[in-house]
Amino acid sequence: MDTDIKCLSCGETIRGRKGKKFCDVYCKSSYQYQQKKDKSPDFYSKVDKQLKTNRKLLREYNKAGKSTVRADILLNQGFDPKFFTHYWKNKKGDVYLFVYEFGFIKRQENTRDKFVLIKWQSYMG
């Protein structure tokens, strides 16, 4: 009852118990890694990646605690304003969207879209 079962990872003939799929733990690990890598990223990975990109850009363009940046500059570098972690509403009713500790609000100045960038302050909490 000798059947030639091949390892799913390397294709070598498997020796051992019936039903075995891999020749060793390294092939099993390699196969599972490749399967995960070949899959399209799941929803949470996409969201996490976009939040990290947004935070990086907001931090990069807001070194002083408050600044204004043209919207096209951020958008061309991969910023997506639909991805944020929380919001804060000031006394005037303006709603700032935050990506962790960095916030933004879209404004229009001289027919140009801009983002006003701020950093989270203790009084906002």
Per the listing, tokens 């799941």 go with 42
Q: Which helix (H) or strand (E) holds 36?
A: helix 25-38
109 and 51, same domain (yes or no):
yes
pLDDT at res. 3: 67
Q: Residue 1 has what pLDDT? A: 46
Query: What's residue 37's pLDDT?
Result: 81
Residue 88 is predicted with a pLDDT of 97
Quote the pLDDT of residue 4. Answer: 82
Specify whether 35 is located in the same domain as 78: no
**Within 10 A of 71 (CB to CB), how many other CB atoms are there?**
17
Q: Are residues 76 and 21 in the same domain?
A: no
Q: Are 96 and 84 in contact (CB under 8 A)?
A: no
With the CA atoms of 76, 82, 85 and 87 taken in that order, what torsion angle do they form, in degrees rounded to the nearest 10?
110
Q: Are residues 24 and 59 located together in one domain of the fold?
A: no
Please check whether residues 70 and 58 belong to one and the same domain.
yes
Q: Are residues 98 and 65 in the same domain?
A: yes
Q: What's the average pLDDT block by block, 10 residues per block, for the chain (125 residues)? A: 80 89 94 86 90 98 95 97 97 97 96 96 90
Number of domains in the chain: 2
Domain containing 47 equals 43-124
